[in-house]
Structure 1
Amino acid sequence: MSRINATIKPFDTHAYRDGKFIRVTDADVAGKWAVFFFYPADFTFVCPTELEDLADHYDMFQKLGVEIYSVSTDTHFAHKAWHDTSPAIGKIRYTMLGDPTGTITRNFDVMVEEEGLADRGTFVVDPQGRIQIVEITAGGVGRDAQELLRKIKAAQYVASHPGEVCPAKWKEGETTLSPSLDLIGKI
């Protein structure tokens, strides 16, 4: 079943952000663009490189009005311990959601049940709470924050320009397409 345009399901969890434990619910996400960035586990190998990459680009996400929520099946306590001990994770200013029950991970269909861990799943959610972008990679394949930013810019452009679409490799400011009978067979 496709997750595109599906509405995110309700959740309520503990999180770590800015040296504090907080509660985060689906209501906190409503009305803004958000990235749910699932990863298998704290204190691992590929995960800190991805989370650091997001941290290094966090200001760019913020300029686009996008909030980042990293999610693993670890607790918010484990997130704090990792944040306090890892130079890469210590850079993080975005919210790290704890999901020890796996509720959020299952809501997004990225739970590896036999391991109790999340797949590497990236979900971009629009202000109406609908999923606009889904990317799931194998455990050993890291993701790229710059490519994610490019995709978000395209999703935001399409959302604010009905009738236009962004072609492959589209970058902000480049030409878009307006699907019509005139374009069929001409691209």
Structure 2
Amino acid sequence: MIDTEIKPFSATAFKDGEFVDVTDADVKGKWAIFFFYPADFTFVCPTELGDVADKYEELQKLGVEVYSVSTDTHFVHKAWHDASETIGKIKYYMLGDQNGTITNNFGVMRPGQGLADRATFLIDPDGVIQAMEITAEGIGRDADDLMRKVKAAQYVRNNPGQVCPAKWKEGDETLAPSLDLVGKI
């Protein structure tokens, strides 16, 4: 999936107290995170979505839009937003994918369950997947690590010929791959 372009989709989302239509064309031209989770009104999911909500303003400053996705409808997203203090702080798009198009497009539909895996995709402004993470049901994701990956992907895009080593954080040294480095790291 890395280095592949996202596939066409159309969905209705809950965002800022409104229902809005979103398509793959809306995603292109900016950085995007697709944050898949199994279902609304569950246990690990709200902790993850709340964690991303806490980083949303910082992500926006980096030019990143967030799209959370589950196979629930946009109506259920609104009800959850209204019922949960944690989910109530979400300002990003909550896409309804009840027909499974987006979830299947990204290859994270659980066979026979109609639920998305716990998966994250970082999309560049060209609509190309630059990073992905999929975890088991009980393993929550970390928005701080997601932020690190966003900054690394943006750095690599803006600095051709440079790569970010393990545990790279903004401001750390990068590498310029060359024959001289082979066997010396």
Give the counterpart letter for 1:156 in structure 2.
Answer: Q
Q: Which runs of 5+ in 1 are unaligned?
A: none
**Which residue in 2 is equivalent to 1:72?**
70
Alpha-carbon separation, structure 2, partners of 1:56 and 1:74 = 23
- Cα distance, 1:134 vs structure 2: 0.6
Task: Give RMSD over aligned pairs.
Answer: 0.4
**Which residue in 2 is equivalent to 1:86?**
84
Alpha-carbon separation, structure 1, partners of 2:115 and 2:84 = 21
**Which residue in 1 is equivalent to 2:120?**
122
**Which residue in 2 is equivalent to 1:22?**
20
Percent of aligned pairs with the same amino acid:
70
Over 6 Å off, 4+ runs = none
- For residues 63-88 of structure 1, what are the alpha-carbon distances to aligned partners after superposition, in whole Å with 9 as ceiling and x for unaligned? 11000000000000000000000000
- Cα distance, 1:113 vs structure 2: 2.2
Give the counterpart letter for 1:60 in structure 2.
Answer: E
Give the TM-score normalised by the residue count of structure 1.
0.98
- Cα distance, 1:114 vs structure 2: 1.1
Q: Which runs of 5+ in 2 are unaligned?
A: none
Q: Secondary structure at the match of 2:21?
A: strand
Alpha-carbon separation, structure 2, partners of 1:97 and 1:50 = 16
Alpha-carbon separation, structure 1, partners of 2:6 and 2:85 = 32
Q: How does 1:2-41 map to 2 (within 5 A)?
A: 3-41=1-39
Q: Secondary structure at the match of 2:169?
A: coil
Alpha-carbon separation, structure 2, partners of 1:15 and 1:142 = 23
**Which residue in 2 is equivalent to 1:112?**
110
- For residues 68-122 of structure 1, what are the alpha-carbon distances to aligned partners after superposition, in whole Å with 9 as ceiling and x for unaligned? 0000000000000000000000000000000000000000000002110000010
Give the TM-score normalised by the residue count of structure 2.
0.99
Candidates 130, 133, 138, aligned match of 1:135: 133
